[in-house]
Structure 1
Amino acid sequence: MFKAIAAKAQEHIYLADGKVPNPARDAPGALTGKVDDVLGILAWAGTAAGVAGVLITGAMMAISMRRGEGSEHMGRLGMVLGGCVLVATAGPVVTFVFA
């Protein structure tokens, strides 16, 4: 019994012995096409949200300067631009890691 458990455990050790698993891609073509379409739509939505965020932050900065108020819009702009960078690099990073 112990030998069977040890043999089964040995099958699941990949990185300890230097072997890296390489799973086969066997998803149906229609499903992968639909997933690609959804991911493309989400990427465009993320890009549009980033552009809208930059425009809204710029408008708020302009209104605050017009009123003579000091505000923390630069921090908000930094967060928006950080989100834009995250959305822009998500696709290439996932493609690099999983392709």
Structure 2
Amino acid sequence: MKMADVYRYLADGGVPQPKSDAPPELTSKVDTVLGIVAWAGTAAGVAGVLITGAMMAMSMRRGEGSEHMGRLGMVLGGCVLVATAGPLVNFVF
């Protein structure tokens, strides 16, 4: 696609709709792998929150200072990234 075509689409307000030339067998396998990776990411996020919560509870019981809030923030940030990755990719492509 030439840049002139891109500018024409932008001026018309239309969005180009590319055609998929991938074979259906490959597409279904890629979808399966991406689904497994998405579930693994979700499971890792849940496990991270549970482990961080358990570590916070143990340190509170021992009377130690808690520096786990930063870790909890990082885990929750990762959860947000995993949760929004799929919709962002669908929006862009």
Gaps of 5+ in 1: 1-10
Say whether 1:60 aligns with 2:50.
no
Amino acid aligned to 1:65: M
Paired positions, count: 87
Q: TM-score under structure 1 normalisation?
A: 0.79
Structure 1 ranges of 4+ moved more than 3 A: 18-22
RMSD (Å) for aligned C-alpha atoms: 1.5
The residue aligned with 1:86 is 81
Q: 1:23 and 1:44 mapped to 2: Cα distance?
A: 29
Which of residues 15, 18, 32 in structure 1 aligns to 2:8?
18
Gaps of 5+ in 2: 10-14
Residues 24-60 of structure 1 show CA distances to partners (whole Å, capped at 9, x for unaligned) of 2110000000000000000000000000000100011
Q: TM-score under structure 2 normalisation?
A: 0.84
Structure of greater Rg = 1
The structural deviation recorded for 1:21 is 5.1
